[in-house]
């Protein structure tokens, strides 16, 4: 993305094209861009993974396709890593952290509370059509 405004336009357009205009789709895209994370890793974020004192995220898991749907498993590198969280991304996390009942509460979910995968995000937001209509060169969400 060339700049912050383009990222926000993309997120807003994805939400607008989704069924029920689910704001969570845009939040996932913005958080992934702000942290250089994979969609599966963002789907795996739990309240206990975020340290609001240092504003760091300890990446411990990812959602990935498995038998019967998406499942959680360890990171691709099999090791946890710490990622700094910029101010704009903190604003996305604060409501979820405040509302979290346990450290295991997911901070990013689909509209029915489930895990978010690449295919789900692409289909639910009409990703390819939105990107083409905006004329931006946004990367296609991919599993790595």
| pLDDT over 60 (residue 138) | no
Query: CA-CA distance, 138 to 119, in Å (whole number)?
Result: 16
Per-domain residue ranges for the chain?
Answer: 4-134
Q: Which residues contact 115 (CB under 8 A, 6 or more apart)?
A: 43, 44, 63, 69, 70, 71, 72, 106, 109
- Could you tell me the pTM of the whole model? 0.89
Q: Helix axis angle, 87-99 relative to 23-35, nearest 10°?
A: 130
Reported as a single tens digit per residue, the pLDDT across 96-123 is 999 999 999 999 999 999 999 999 999 9
Q: Pairing relation of β-strands 56-59 and 50-51?
A: antiparallel
CATH architecture of the domain with residue range 4-134: Orthogonal Bundle (1.10)
- Per-residue confidence band for 139, with pLDDT thresholds at 50, 70 and 90: low
Q: Which residues contact 49 (CB under 8 A, 6 or more apart)?
A: 57, 58, 59, 60
């Amino acid at each position: 993305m060339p700049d912050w405004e383009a990222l926000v336009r993309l997120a807003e357009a994805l939400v607008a094209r989704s069924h029920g205009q689910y704001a969570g789709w845009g939040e996932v895209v913005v958080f992934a861009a702000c942290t250089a994370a994979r969609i599966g890793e963002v789907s795996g974020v739990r309240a206990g993974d975020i340290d609001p004192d240092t504003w760091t995220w300890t990446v411990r898991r990812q959602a990935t396709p498995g038998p019967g749907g998406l499942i959680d498993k360890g990171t691709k590198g099999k090791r946890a890593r710490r990622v700094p969280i910029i101010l704009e991304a903190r604003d996305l996390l604060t409501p979820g952290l405040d509302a979290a009942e346990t450290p295991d509460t997911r901070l990013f979910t689909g509209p029915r509370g489930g895990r978010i995968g690449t295919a789900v995000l692409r289909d639910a937001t009409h990703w390819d059509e939105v990107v083409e209509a905006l004329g931006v060169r946004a990367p296609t969400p991919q599993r790595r």
